[in-house]
């Protein structure tokens, strides 16, 4: 284990932040967004490099981190499995030791959550979870920033998750703890969120089977694709099981009159969401996508610059 590994903070889960830090990050994301749009130059990262390891491909994650580092005056390296020794079987721990002696931070988007935990345990620089099969915390920073920009503080509000109890659902469960809101999750039988995570958020997250009941009075409705990356062979089976869980106008009609709709994208109109909802006036999915850029810039600043 490297001696310098404890000198930095990592972001593998929303629970790596205190509530105060998390709220500060989303406020800073909005401020960085304003600065960019008004032409204010802010480049605190000259000669700093972010290594981006992609075992799972992504449009939004790559573009947002790469553009974010450029806007902050730094540089980002894109590393696919074929570009690294990880793809040839090098131990995670050895890759962490080597990369963290050359770059200033590492973002990993992969399958098994254990990979980012082992990498972080042997890294001398901050490690960011860009997505695992268990959690997607960067997306939640953007989602919380988006809600705050449209509706203010989410504290005490009701959020409804509809669909698979997957990594996005897990991160909303953690967000319910950090940002202090109620979460209702409508999932088909056999697709509930992780039991250990559910037990940890007892009192904040309720599992229901009826999407319309779950949406009753909600301030925010959220969903995701029925079959995520790596589950393509289950697509047909999932289409049949998840059909009653589409977010459509009937579901949205049960929510609060000013309820918002979010989706982490890519979306499949006619499957998990109707076109009338995702392209309708309550949808803020494009703001969500844009805010990946600004929320992650705030995160990089938080991890790389000394805290005052």
Active site residues: 109, 136, 139, 224, 264, 292
Question: What number of residues does the chain have?
Answer: 308
In terms of phi and psi (left: phi > 0; alpha: psi -120 to 50; beta: otherwise), the region of 180 is left
Helix (H) or strand (E) holding 222: strand 220-223
Beta carbons within 8 Å of 292's beta carbon, 6+ residues apart: 60, 61, 64, 138, 139, 142
- Sign of torsion over alpha carbons 63, 149, 134, 245: negative
8 A C-beta contact, residue 68 and residue 297: yes
Selection from 33, 17, 7, 11 nearest residue 297 by Cα: 33
Write out the two tokens for 167. 């990594």
Euclidean distance between CA atoms 224 and 242, whole angstroms: 11
Q: Measured over all CA atoms, what is the biggest interatomic distance in the chain, rounded to whole angstroms?
A: 57
């Amino acid at each position: 284990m490297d001696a310098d590994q404890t000198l930095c903070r990592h972001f593998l889960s929303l629970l790596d932040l205190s509530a105060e830090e998390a709220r500060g990050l989303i406020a800073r994301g909005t401020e960085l967004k304003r600065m960019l749009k008004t032409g204010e130059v802010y480049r605190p990262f000259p000669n700093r490099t972010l290594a981006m390891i992609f075992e799972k491909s992504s449009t939004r994650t790559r573009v947002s981190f790469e553009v974010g580092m450029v806007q902050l005056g730094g540089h980002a390296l894109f590393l696919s499995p074929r570009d690294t020794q990880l793809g040839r079987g090098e131990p995670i721990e050895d890759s962490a030791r080597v990369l963290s002696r050359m770059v200033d931070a590492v973002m990993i988007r992969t399958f098994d959550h254990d990979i980012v935990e082992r990498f972080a345990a042997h890294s001398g620089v901050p490690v960011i979870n860009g997505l695992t099969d268990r959690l997607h915390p960067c997306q939640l920073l953007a989602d919380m920033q988006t809600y705050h920009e449209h509706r203010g503080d989410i504290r005490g509000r009701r959020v409804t998750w509809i669909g698979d109890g997957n990594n996005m659902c897990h991160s909303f469960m953690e967000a319910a703890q950090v940002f202090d809101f109620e979460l209702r999750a409508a999932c088909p039988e056999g697709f509930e969120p992780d039991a250990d995570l559910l037990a940890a958020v007892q009192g904040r997250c309720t599992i229901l089977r009826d999407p319309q009941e779950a949406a009753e009075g909600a301030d925010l409705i959220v969903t995701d694709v029925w079959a995520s990356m790596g589950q393509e062979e289950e697509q047909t089976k999932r289409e049949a099981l998840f059909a009653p869980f589409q977010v459509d106008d009937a579901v949205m009609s049960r929510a609060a009159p000013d309820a918002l709709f979010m989706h982490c994208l890519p979306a499949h109109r006619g499957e998990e969401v109707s076109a009338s909802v995702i392209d309708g006036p309550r949808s803020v999915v494009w703001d969500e996508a844009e805010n990946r850029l600004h929320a992650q810039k705030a995160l990089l600043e938080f991890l790389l610059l000394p805290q005052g």
